[in-house]
Amino acid sequence: MEFTDHNPNSTSIASQHSTNGTTIVTENRNPNPNGAQPYVLMFPVMSQGHMIPMIDLARMIAARGLAVAVATTPLNAARIPSVPLLRVLELPFPGTEVDLPRGCESLDALPQLSLFPEFMKATRLMKPKLDEILAIDRPLAIVSDFFLPWTLDTAERIGVPRLVFQGISCSAHCCLELVKKFRLWDAVDSDHEPFELPGLSIRLTKANLPPLMRNPSAEPPGVIEFFNEIRRADSESAGIIFNSFYELEPDYFEHCRKTTRAWHVGPVSMVTPDTGSRGKAGSVECLAWLDMFERGTVVYACFGSMCRFESDQLAEIGLGLEATGRPFIWVVRETTEPLGSISGLDGFEERVKDRGLVIRGWAAQVLILSHESVGAFITHGGWNSVLEGVSSGLAMVTWPLSAEQFINAKMVSEVMGIGFGVERVGKEVVRREKVKEAVEEVMGEGGERKRMRAKELKEMGRRAVEEGGSSHMSLGRLVEDLLNGLKQGA
């Protein structure tokens, strides 16, 4: 298999490549016995939140002159843009073999989260076909989603390094590694008693940890073993790529590099803001709606593609947004029942039609957040969303639901200083009064310092990805390391 380069002005990377903005003549390592063009294989988990940043990184690497193939399934192939040196490697998705609904090729499409283990089993069944292809068309390296630990075996079989594209922040990665290594939760008696993390200034509580650490017995069979496998595979890989920038998490990058090769290449959304994977039908209408409102007045509320709220919580969110009296955009899952059928929300959309927009399904989040009329972001605190909020210069209200989002929420409010958290105990319903109060905290006079700090971080992120910036330089080193077989330090 060979790439077809549609750019007549491009130069074969067999003789040249660009790293820190300078073209360097080099002899490149090519593992392909058939002499095909050297390339890197990237394999994201099939989910919008995982695919978008990895596709962005693929575009960034291709723009430096190194060819990239993105492995995915037929129903997800359309998400990958047509650009020079970037191609799709389609693999059949054996979902029906593990009793997933036909056509369910994305985590976002799962009818219930309890099917997550089956979905990950199906991804593992893609391995034989991938191994067969790569044995003939061997890449320089495999850049794998951390959710695909089995790609380590694939990389070892064909004799190439595996790098991890880490979907969480460097700070969360460091914290979770230390907590797991030293079982730090054993040192405290309650969920809210803080404990120290060796080598880091932050203090956490059990309540800040992912649910699977706090209460592993509540997880479905196989989930704990799956995450232990992820941790082992990551530790045996050649390094970790973070969608972040050094200035946002300097202490954590320094800590990480004591034991791990790491590259910071973000915010990737600032490098490829025009990517087609971020838009959707209706984006133009949504932006036109935002144009009707004054600068910094609109609240944007979105809780991620995997979030599933119960009806009573949906009602309180909607009524809380209504109670603010501010214009808002509220993104709900496509499968959410009609809001008018939820107790408390009957007549809601009619009452707020002049200042409220409800979007079902995937929203063009980067485009919305970067619009000048948006003034605050209510988020579940997934890392992609946090970084997109930072890149847009927005203060945030964090509402963590799962995974490392509780650590992200603490980072946003206490370390970055750009947000407020919604206080929530267990699975209790957050009432409308708290929703309104949180919005007022971040958009009122009391939130001015956080809003100013958010704008400062946006500027720091912009400088990081510009030529000569920390992420621009780190991306250049990553490309060099890939071409050199990762024989030198990052």
Residues identified as active-site: 50, 145
> In whole angstroms, how far apart are CA 400 and each of 23, 40, 136, 342, 396?
44, 34, 44, 23, 12
Token digits of residue 417: 């200083």
**Measuring CA to CA, which residue among 402, 359, 366 is closest to residue 382?**
402
For residue 343, the SS3 value is coil
385: tokens are: 């969303």
Residue linked to tokens 């790491």:
262
Query: Is residue 65 within 8 Å of residue 480, measured between CB atoms?
Result: no
Instruction: Determine which helix (DSSP H) or strand (DSSP E) holds 152, and give its type and residue range.
Output: helix 151-158
Residues in the chain: 490
Give which of 364, 318, 374, 375 is closest to 341, Cα–Cα: 318
CA neighbours closer than 13 Å in the CB half-sphere of residue 181 = 11
Return the DSSP state at 337.
Answer: P
Q: Which two tokens stand for residue 209?
A: 């940890």
User: Please, which residues have CB within 8 angstroms of residue 295's CB and are 6 or more apart in sequence?
Assistant: 372, 373, 375
Q: How many C-beta neighbours within 10 Å does residue 223 have?
A: 15
| φ/ψ bin of 112: left (φ > 0), alpha (ψ from -120 to 50), beta (otherwise) | beta
Dist CA 240 CA 260 (whole Å): 7
> How many whole angstroms separate alpha carbon 413 and alpha carbon 421?
7
d(CA 233, CA 230): 5
- Confirm if 395 and 459 have CB atoms less than 8 A apart: no
